[in-house]
Structure 1
Amino acid sequence: MTTETDDAPAQTAAPATPEKKPRSRNDVFANYLVVLLAFAGISLVIVLFASWGEEESLPEVDYEADAEQFTAFAPFPVLAPEDLPDDWVATSSRLTLAGATAGEEITDPVKWDVGFVTSSEEYASLRIGDDDPEDFIADMTNDGDPDGDQQVADDTWDRYETPDGDRRSLVRPTEGATLVVTGTATYDELATLAESLEPQE
């Protein structure tokens, strides 16, 4: 007699679910640091792209107020630039008045220096003063050597150039003072500044 045995399939135990470990402070800090660095990188890229699209701007000054003040103090007729090309930028204006008071007799030399960046991005400045002409010319032209002359409108200007050729100047005497137009600009651009000079009242 044969006894039948029920072969019941063996039951497989379900795999144990691993317990989730709580995140450590180090993990949280590391994730925070990654996010922070990513944000900083994106910000840097944005700033770089923005800066590429910006043009470098020059500081611009209003020299007309100095022209008026110098006209009030100077014991000689003052000339000032007017109607220069639109792309010339006035970048500096300095008065030397030796502590004088308007209307009083001035015994010390006075000087006005106004500078521009030109169309070719070179520098040109007007310097007008009543110091000893020889000393004034040597100082304002950086000890430039005579380099012929140049006609500007109805006036003849003496040309000076420094020995290294980096600086050129146009010089002419005026009533009671000396005019020097000087800078790294070409003689033609210096002539543009010289031709723009107009008497001030």
Structure 2
Amino acid sequence: MRKDLVYELDGATWMKTTKFGDSEDRVLIKKNGEETYFMSDILYHADKIKIRKFDKVIDIWGADHHGYAPRLKAALAALDIPENKLEIIISQLVRLVKNGKEVKISKRAGNFITLEELIDEVGIDAARFFFLMYSPNTHMDFDLALAKERSQKNPVYYVQYAHARIASILRKSQILNSKFETNYQKTY
């Protein structure tokens, strides 16, 4: 990092992120000597991009962190890291619904469900499909019962059923008329 971008003020170490479009300069090391989360985030991203040579880093953050994106991008610019090396996707929170009622989630209380646990409960196809049905910047209610339902009410079940029917039609068309050509490719 360029030395002209770091300065001491009131016993803390600051970075001139305003030179890179941030609204104010940011503290890297507090006056008690403790590094800020901001400092560790800068180091973490710099390690991925400069040391480990990642082509691109994609972070998915909750909407409550949207104001943090410009300052991190400013800090990385100060390290001569091109802006296109980091993409930050801001995502709204997902509300889990079970038996018609919201599942109360609290990270601090240790009451949360990991993505792995969600996949174990509803299956990877349902989890993937439900998350892809909504834009990341849209609030989402993830209905656990609906995701597991095996009827046309469940959009995943409906799409899987349509896929099975199409595959069956294509198989039968090959059996009935070997001259019939299909121009599709498996992508999975």
The question of a shared fold, defined as TM-score above 0.5 by the shorter chain, is answered with no
TM-score by length of 2: 0.18
Larger radius of gyration: 1
TM-score by length of 1: 0.17
